[in-house]
Amino acid sequence: MQSERTKKLPFDSFSEECGVFGIHSPETYNIASTAYYGLFALQHRGQESCGIAVGNGKKIEYYKNMGLVPEVFSAERISSLPDGNIAIGHVRYSTTGASKLCNAQPIYFIGKCGKMALAHNGNLINAKELRNELIKENAVFQTSIDSEVMASLINKYSDESIVDGVLEACKQFKGSYSFVLMGQGKLIAVRDPYGIRPLCFGTIGDKYVVASETCALDGVGAKFVRDIEPGEVLVFDGSGIEFYRIDKTVEKKAHCIFEYVYFARPDSEIDGVSVYESRKESGKILARKYPVEADMVAGVPDSAVVAARGYSEVSGIPYGEALTKNRYVGRTFIQPEQGMRENSVKIKLNALRSNVCGKRIVLIDDSIVRGTTSKKIVQMLKEAGAKEVHLRISSPITKHPCYFGIDTNDYSQLVGAFRTEEEIREFIGCESLHYLTIDELCQTVHRDKNDFCLGCFNGEYPYIVENEKEKEDKHVLDD
C-alpha cells in the first residue's frame, strides 16, 4: 500500500495515462513473456503499477504489483505464470482511483460467462453514476477505479456471450476507453466511439497482438495491421477476427492530440500519423513563426527533443543539450522533505553548465501545466550561466482541464487558464515565450482539425462534462 512518503512527486507536467497490451495465439506457449516485452515498450504510458493476466481456456492467472515492468516481473515471476494462448497486460498511471495495489490492472473477475480479465486506458466521466446504479442492483466493488465499473457493467449484460455484454455496456459508457478483455477463450479489443485514446493491432505469424501504440507491436516483433477504428470491437478467438461496432451514433472523431505532443513514444504511429514527424514539424513551425537570435537550441528531455531538432533545422541555430534527465525516476518516489521538495525538479533535471554558460538559449518544451517547473528550469539555466532563455512551446496554451484520462482536472492547476502569454512569461521569468496556436498544432498532424479532441486548449470536449462551466466560473471567482 502506498504510504504518505511514497506519493507521486509533484512534477509539473502532463502525466501518461496507462497502456494496454493483448495477445491471442492459436497455440499455448509461455505467452506472458511476449506480454512482458509489449508492456516494457509501453512503460512510458504508466509507471505506477503493472500486471499481466494469462488464460489457457480453463483458467486465468495473473500477477500485478506496484512498480515498473522490470521491477514487478522478474524472469522467475514470468515463468511462474502458466503457459496460455491469451494474455493481456497493463501499465498504469492513476487518473481515477488512488495509486495503490488494489487499483492495479488487469482486473480479474468471475462473472456470468466465467473467468474474465480486463485492462483499460482512458477515463469514464459517468463512472460514478454507473457505479451507483450497479450498487443499487447489488453489485459489489473492491476498487475505486472506473475500469471495475466497466467490468461490472459488461458482466451485467453478458448473459450467454461476453461479446454481447461488451456491445451493450459500451452504449452506456461516456468518456475515453481503449480496452482489452479476455474471457470465453476470446481476446476482445475495444476503442471508444470518438477514438480518444489510441489502439492498434498487428500479427506475429498466426498470433494477433493489440496494443496502445505501434512501438509495442515493434517491441514484440509484430507486423502492424492497422489502428482499431473509433467505435470498433474486434474479437480474436482462434478462428480469425470478428468485427463489431458499438451501436452509438457519434458524428466525429476526437483523437487526443496530446498523444502526438507528449504522451506517445516518438517511434509510434497513431491513426496514420508519425509521432516523430509531428513533433519535428511543430519545432519547424515554431522556428518560422517565432524566430530569435540565439546561440543554441535545446529541448526539455525527452518529449521536446525532437521539436527542438526541428527548430534547429529551420533556424540554423545549432542544437545542443542544456539539461540532463535522471531516467531512473519512476512516477512514485519517496516524498522529499519540505526543504528539498522545493527543489524536486532537480531530482529529475539538471542544467549542463558547460553547454549553457554564456549562451543565449532557445528552449523548447511540449507544454506548460502549472508553470512552476518551467520557472525552475529557467532559473536553473540562468544559475548555470545562460545569458538569455527564450521558451518556445510546441502546443497551444493549456487553458482547460482534461477529463479523459489525464490528471489535470482542475482549472487551479493550470497557469494558462486565465493568463495571457505575456503574463505567463513574466511568471516564468524567461526573455521571451511563444506557443503554437491551435491551427498550427493541427498542421503538425496533417489531418482535419475536426478529427481531434482539442479540449484542453479550447474547452470543446467530445462529451458534455457535467458542471464544467461552473468549475471554470468558480475558478475565475476564486482568483
Binding site for ligand SF4 (CB under 6 A): 196, 256-258, 402, 404, 406, 453-456
Say whether 18 is catalytic: yes
Distance between CA 68 and CA 70 in Å, rounded?
6
Our CB check for ligand SF4 shows the closer of 236 and 263 to be: 263
Our CB check for ligand SF4 shows the closer of 207 and 265 to be: 265
> Within 10 Å of residue 145's Cβ, how many Cβ atoms?
25
**DSSP letter at 85?**
E
> Nearest approach, Cβ of 390 to ligand SF4 (angstroms)?
26
Say how far residue 318 (Cα) sits from the centre of its chain. 31
> Nearest approach, Cβ of 301 to ligand SF4 (angstroms)?
21
Catalytic residue among 18, 170, 215, 442: 18
Our CB check for ligand SF4 shows the closer of 40 and 452 to be: 452
> Nearest approach, Cβ of 400 to ligand SF4 (angstroms)?
7
Distance between CA 434 and CA 421 in Å, rounded?
7
> Nearest approach, Cβ of 457 to ligand SF4 (angstroms)?
7
Our CB check for ligand SF4 shows the closer of 208 and 404 to be: 404
Residue type, 111: G
With 0-12 CB in 10 A as exposed, 13-18 as middle and 19+ as buried, what is 206? exposed
- Torsion sign over Cα 337, 342, 345, 347: negative
Helices H, strands E: what count in the chain? 18, 23
> Nearest approach, Cβ of 92 to ligand SF4 (angstroms)?
17
- Strands (E) in 40-140, as ranges, are 49-55, 60-66, 84-92, 107-111, 114-124
Burial call 70-100: b when 16+ CB within 10 Å, e when fewer: eebbeeeebeebbebbbbbbbbbbbbbbebb
Distance between CA 448 and CA 443 in Å, rounded?
9
- Would you call 243 helix, strand, or coil by DSSP? strand
**DSSP letter at 334?**
P
Q: How many residues would you count in the chain?
A: 479
Our CB check for ligand SF4 shows the closer of 11 and 236 to be: 11
The grid coordinates listed for 233 are: 470491437
> Nearest approach, Cβ of 266 to ligand SF4 (angstroms)?
18
* Start-to-end Cα distance in the chain: 36
Our CB check for ligand SF4 shows the closer of 90 and 253 to be: 253
Q: Catalytic residue numbers?
A: 18
